[in-house]
Structure 1
Amino acid sequence: MKGAIVINGYLDGKKFREPAEMLTEAGERHGVPMKTFLNSNLSVPIGDSDAFAERLGDIDFIIFWDKDVKLARNLEVCGYPVINCSEAIRICDDKALTHLTLAEYGIPSIKTVASPMSFGYPYQDILPDIVDQIGFPMVVKDCFGSFGQQVHMVRTMEELHEHAEGTVPKIFQEYIECDGRDIRVEVVGEKVVAAVMRTAAYGDFRSNATIGGIMEKYEPSEEEAQLAIEAASAVQADFAGVDIIHSADGPVVCEVNSNAHIKNLFDATGINAADCIIEYIIELIQ
């Protein structure tokens, strides 16, 4: 058995390379050779399986550690098993689609309003209506974004106009007070393999490690673990990092990440999710 890993060719930096390196090393430990490819080197005609074969060689599966959903779908069209699948990537990459999917499956999440499709026109005219529904404070997020970037706490109409300026698709969410903490649960093959408690840096409400959040090993409750498994299943993810916060009504899903960073998870827990992913794929493919 041989596998490939696809990463983005335009995002340079250690944090973008580490997951592929960890998966390659895990493959070696399990006797599964892995080779990494950049998405920028896999632009071939749609549906041309021969063109992919020339570039990828003899492989049995692809771990897709990127958000290039069109490439992932083209690989599927050409017969390659892609993990995570293109639909999981599409849903997780768009925060509005994530919450729509969670709602469809009855999975508790945060009260969310999605910005309208405006065809490139500003949509600030709807902001008073959003305030009526969500209230202040609220959290404003770009639909497409990672590592806690483009996430803002908004307390006034002036701040709302500032962070909803332009035409970028956004979601507007009820702010749930959680002392700057959330739980990241790593799910692989409908099993919880690791979890951490993340605490925001002083003065921030975002708990992402990339912007200063602290991660500590955490043992999720049965309810939290089941919620994470159901969320990953709903978005069709074989593996995912599910972010959970506690509301007055219990745990709710904040986000589902189709390629959550596994290096800081390893640093905090000592658990290498790359091994779990490779072991799952071996069982799945064989």
Structure 2
Amino acid sequence: MKLAILSRNSKLYSTRRLIEAARARGHVVRVLDPLRCYMRIAPDGFAMHYKGRPLTGVDAVIPRIGASITRYGTAVLRQFEMMGARTPNPSDAILRARDKLRAHQVLAAKGIDMPVTVFGDNPDDTDDLLSMLGPPPHVVKLSEGTQGRGVILTEKLSASRGTVEALRGLYANFLVQEFIAEAQGADLRCLVVGDQVVATMRRQAPEGDFRSNLHAGGSAEPVVCSRAEQQVAVRSAKALGLGIAGVDMIRSARGPLVLEVNSTPGLEGIEAVSGGDVAGRMIDYVAGLRR
């Protein structure tokens, strides 16, 4: 298999592990900076060039597209799809997952439980919008925030109102959710590959914070997820059209609640905690995809 990995940095842990796993299995692999890919689009065919040379014969593409280049990165991936390359995470699926509001709408339509979420635009509707959610604490999230950034906990109604009004003044896209106190600042990361959860970890927020993301200072430990939690993780990835995903959920009094589905999950933390060869499982899955 001739494999391309779309990544801006070949030295990142996740990218390096995918390269190692692919080469160990005899595949030819190349890392491509998506911002150096450019394309020709015409009725007579699609073409891609990279640093002055044509890119041809790519069998499969693994996208490791950062949030800051989502639009261009998914356009490059879409071009590869048009040229016949297979991918575990199609461009449209990445776009669905990156937009938190859209992802929540899709998941809710599939009956997947999550914290109650509200969204609105007009300042005149703020009080009624928050009443639809219920009493604080509330969690305010930027629609395209990553790694725990752009997530704010408001403990009073006045703080929720003020945060909403401030974000509207910045023309930011955001949503507001109920706060699940019984989670006690912990969440589960389930790494889904195809129809299976191949690795899991429990992340705990540092003292004084509620964000459990490792990039926000959280800690991680091994965990055994229940069958129900694994089923929710796989259903969530499938609902968004992702073959590979990191599904974040919390344990609540009413069962597992999905927080987010990450289309480009990092491997460093979960491989270290779980001890599994997650990169290898991903490569094996990609190699088995059909055009």
TM-score (normalised: structure 1): 0.90
Measure the CA separation in 1 of the matches of 2:126 and 2:10. Answer: 37
Contact 1:43 1:71 in 2 (8 A): yes
Counterpart AA for 1:43: Y
Counterpart in 2 of 1:138?
138
> 1:188 and 2:187 equivalent?
no
Counterpart AA for 1:6: L
After TM superposition, where is structure 1 displaced by more than 4 Å over at least 4 residues in a row? Answer: none
Structure 1 unaligned blocks of 5 or more: 117-122
Counterpart in 2 of 1:25?
20
Measure the CA separation in 2 of the matches of 1:175 and 1:233. Answer: 26
Structure 1 segment 34-53 matched on structure 2, within 5 A: 34-46=29-41, 49-52=46-49
Measure the CA separation in 1 of the matches of 2:128 and 2:243. Answer: 38
Compare 155-164 and 143-152 and name the one that shifted more: 155-164
Counterpart AA for 1:169: N
Which secondary structure state, in structure 1, belongs to the residue aligned with residue 285 of structure 2? helix
Counterpart in 1 of 2:124?
125
Q: Give the percent of matched residue pairs that are identical in Structure 1 and Structure 2.
A: 31
Counterpart AA for 1:223: A
Compare 86-95 and 43-52 and name the one that shifted more: 43-52
Contact 1:3 1:61 in 2 (8 A): yes
Counterpart AA for 2:32: F
Q: Structure 1 residues 159 and 188, CA, compared in 2 at 3 Å: closer, same or farther?
A: same
Structure 1 segment 95-110 matched on structure 2, within 5 A: 95-110=100-115
Q: Structure 1 residues 61 and 220, CA, compared in 2 at 3 Å: closer, same or farther?
A: same
Counterpart in 2 of 1:149?
149
TM-score (normalised: structure 2): 0.88
Which secondary structure state, in structure 1, belongs to the residue aligned with residue 139 of structure 2? strand
Counterpart AA for 2:62: I
Measure the CA separation in 1 of the matches of 2:283 and 2:80. Answer: 20
| Residue of 230, 234, 238 corresponding to 1:233 | 238
Counterpart in 2 of 1:171?
175
Measure the CA separation in 2 of the matches of 1:279 and 1:89. Answer: 21
Instruction: Using the TM superposition, give the Cα deviation of residue 185 of structure 1 relative to its aligned residue in structure 2, in angstroms.
Output: 0.4
> 1:70 and 2:99 equivalent?
no
Instruction: Using the TM superposition, give the Cα deviation of residue 162 of structure 1 relative to its aligned residue in structure 2, in angstroms.
Output: 4.3
Which secondary structure state, in structure 1, belongs to the residue aligned with residue 39 of structure 2? coil
- Count of residues in Structure 1 that have an aligned counterpart in Structure 2: 275
